[in-house]
Structure 1
Amino acid sequence: MELTDQLGQEIIRRLSRYIDVAINLMDATGKIVASTDTARIKQIHGGAQRVIETLEAQQITKEISNQYSNTKPGVNLPIFHRGELAGVVGLTGDPDQVFQAAGMTQGSVEITLEQLYIQKQSFYQERQWNHWFHQLISNRETEDLEKEARYSLRADLKKAWQVLVFQTPSPYDFAEKLRRQAEELNLSPLFILPFQENSVVMPLPFHENLPPIKTDGPAAIGEPGYSAKGIYTSFQQARETLAIAGKAREIIHSGSLKMERLLSNITKDTFTEITEPYANRLNRLETPYLKTLDAFFNNDLKMSRTADELHVHRNTLHYRLDQVHKKVGLDARNFKDAIILQAILINH
């Protein structure tokens, strides 16, 4: 990574808060790209050119400063990034007095370049994964995408994956939080991507015992699936589960809602034809009856468990279910009627 005008000015802006002498940053040709003395920007710095030739620090005293063009007394040090010369940093002043500060400045610039490089690489990789993932969910063609993941993104997909989908009002902020969590929990996600306007997607290698993951909203996890095709399927399962699960602030496993997912995928025409007469009546029911149906289905049609959860007598529960039967035309205690009622409630 080389020192550019924009990058150099940002580094100068940060360093000048802590160093009270003039600072110059030169690129790998010796041109001043940033300086606390803006009049010197774009000048060729003779002392920097000497550093570039020798790859060694240069202390320039007042007596020899006129030997180098556009150079003042001070210290000039080479800046390296990943073994390559990236530029030169110079501090103006008595060499003996500014040498230590120059060394610290050199180290700060090299650390900053490495951090920016890592950020740039991470951003580039995120864009690659974003493109890859959208290709996956758009056309489902996995063979070429598996090759791209292996050769371009250096990722081995030949394993079982589970995809987590999180709903959040701030996907970019939550994605950053999730990356920190993943690192702390040693989760090794394939990627963590903001998706659409309110979601974050995270495929994980399958874990029998997934550690608890903090979420700031509804979340779901699909079932394990192998390679790219498995990622696609697990993602779709998690999305369907989120659409069904409502607003629970916990991670819902798609395997726990198989029946609900099945019913939610009935074709619209068939669903409307069968349920419309009952749905209109069901929508007119008072809230206690709807809550009773939810509790009854959540307790697997068990009368005693439902009555206990609702804190009502079994006779009261029977009365409410009788009223639902009378007003809607479906008896929740009858298996086939219960399926139709459940489908209406799921797709409501």
Structure 2
Amino acid sequence: MEWITKELAQEIVTRTMDIIPYNINVMNEHGVIIGSGEHDRVDHIHDGAMLVIQKQETLIIHHKQAKKLKGVKPGINLPILFQDKMVGVVGITGIPAEVKNYGKLVKMTAEMLLQQAFLLESMQWKERVKEEVMNELLNNASVPHSAIVDRANMIGIDLSIRRVAVIIQLTIKETNQDHHKLRKSIVASLQSVLTEADLLSDFSFPTLVLLKRIHLKEQSWNRSFTLTELTHLQTMLNQHKDITYKIAMGHDSAVVSESFQRAKQTLQTGCALFPEKSLYDYFDMSLPVLLSQLPSKSELQSFFSLLVAQDENGELQETLTSFIEQNGELNRVADSLFIHRNTLRYRLDKIKKLTGKDPKHTKELFELYISMLLYRIQP
């Protein structure tokens, strides 16, 4: 395994030469110079480094010794250790008496940068595995196969935990040009209010996908608790003035991909019916979501279409909507529309005349409601 890449070696050289006024060389575990302030020395064997590797200890090279060794100048060469293993050598070129005091500083710098690079690579690898696991969960219509379960276990993801799919669709205002910085800021904000069992993916940014751990109450999904958690996400998103957003939650399902599909359908339907809202829940919208899956231009849609065609100022549509929202209670409907009850009765009769459906009859009101939903979902 190559512990120190040429890119990392040159970074070690650059960082340390910013601190001390001497040339720095970095050699790999084979004694080859892979980073140096003297670029013509790169890719050459350094015999001094070979001796350090053989003896596993620091080597001071004086002028006379340097003449006898290949690719070597006077100075000091020190082993680079990582996880108690020697993975390379760092050398300082110069008169030994002058440079030896810098040895520990240069060695510490090299090992610190190696540790940082390793941690970054580990984080990136973990993110790649998480993306692979989430992609499998979101797109596979069956229980994840053993290989995915094993990979999830490798990075500490317990797939036995029940989760619900949540889609967070962001719209970035044109004034913000640095999408990468905004992406990191938003993800960091959301992660601050999520638990370790929650899985957040930003691979389709500006759309985020969250697999939210659900809490149980008497063995059933405590949906109200999850909704409260989503309001916390809204609070965090509201702090970002460069975006607007829509959040849609699917249903509790043993198969994550089914919950994800419901979340997508809920988002699409919610935006069509309630564009003023920012949070949509499949549980509250299951009927319109299911209707949205019907073939377009359903016959049921024709009732409301007839009404729209003869309702130039939209007052009949407004009246029907209020009548449904107020459960047909005439006084409350009239109050919400600021009209007299007689005016309300006139409008309801007109709706019946235009559509052939009487809003005051429960079955026919339901048909009108379905027709209205279909019209708005499938205009």
TM category, shorter = 0.7 to 0.9
Q: 2:165 aligns to what?
A: 163
Q: Which one of the candidate residues 294, 297, 305 is aligned to 1:279?
A: 305
Where does the alignment leave 5 or more consecutive residues of structure 1 unmatched? none
Amino acid at match of 2:260: F
Look up the equivalent residue of 2:79 and give its one-letter code.
P
Q: TM-score, normalised by structure 2?
A: 0.73
Question: 5 Å matches for 1:270-309?
Answer: 271-276=297-302, 278-279=304-305, 282=308, 285=311, 289=315, 297=324
Q: 1 CA distance for matches of 2:190 and 2:129?
A: 20
Q: Kindly provide the amino acid, as one letter, of the partner of residue 204 in structure 1.
A: K
- The question of 1:345 aligning with 2:376 is answered yes
* Distance in 2 separating the partners of 1:84 and 1:249: 58
Secondary structure of residue in 1 paired with 2:50:
helix
| Matched residue, 1:199 | 207
Partners of 1:141 and 1:166 in 2: how far apart? Answer: 24
- CA offsets, 1:37-64, max 9 Å, x none? 1111111122222222233233334454
Asked if the contact 1:161/1:205 (under 8 Å) is kept, the reply is yes
- Asked if 2 retains the 8 angstrom alpha-carbon contact of 1:25 and 1:33, the reply is yes
Match of 2:295 in 1: 268
Return the TM-score normalized by structure 1: 0.79
Q: Which residue of 2 aligns with 1:236?
A: 261
Quote the RMSD (CA, aligned, Å).
3.6
- How do 1:19-58 and structure 2 match up within 5 A? 19-58=20-59
Counterpart Cα distance in 1 of 2:313 and 2:325: 16
Pair 1:84–1:253, CA change in 2 (3 A): farther
Aligned letter for 1:167? Q
The amino acid of 2:167's aligned partner reads: V
Which ranges of structure 2 fall in alignment gaps of 5 or more residues?
173-178, 216-221, 238-242
Q: Deviations over 1:301-332 (max 9, x none)?
A: 5666666666x345576666666666666566
- The alpha-carbon distance between structure 1 residues 46 and 337, as it changes in their structure 2 partners (threshold 3 A), is same
The alignment of Structure 1 onto Structure 2 pairs a total of residues equal to 340
Tell me which moved more, 288-297 or 47-56: 288-297
Cα contact 2:6–2:35 (8 A) shared by 1: yes
In the TM superposition, what whole-angstrom CA distance separates every residue of 1:142-161 from its partner, at most 9, and x where no partner exists? 1xx24223322213211211
Q: What amino acid is the match of 2:368?
A: D
Q: Is the 8 A contact 1:182 1:189 kept in 2?
A: no
Give the AA of the match of 1:9.
Q
Please name the residue that 1:103 is paired with.
104
| Aligned match of 2:61 | 60
The 1:108–1:258 alpha-carbon spacing in structure 2 relative to 1, beyond 3 Å, is farther
* Distance change (3 Å), C-alpha of 1:162 and 1:114: farther
SS of residue paired to 2:152? coil
Partner secondary structure for residue 232 of structure 1: helix
Identity %: 24
Indicate the larger mover: 37-46 or 202-211: 202-211
What secondary structure, in the 3-state scheme, does the structure 1 residue paired with 2:192 have? helix
Conserved 8 A contact 2:301-2:371: yes
1:188 alignment partner, one of 191, 196, 210: 196
Question: Is residue 245 from structure 1 mapped to residue 244 from structure 2 by the alignment?
Answer: no
Distance in 2, matches of 1:329 and 1:17, equals 85
| Shift in CA distance, 248/301, structure 1 to aligned 2, threshold 3 Å | same
Deviation of the 1:219 alpha carbon: 1.5
CA contact (8 A) 1:74 1:93 kept: yes
**Alignment match of 2:284 (pick from 246, 249, 256):** 256
Q: Aligned partners of 1:64, 1:48: CA distance in 2, in Å?
A: 13
Does the CA-based 8 Å contact 2:269-2:377 persist in structure 1?
yes
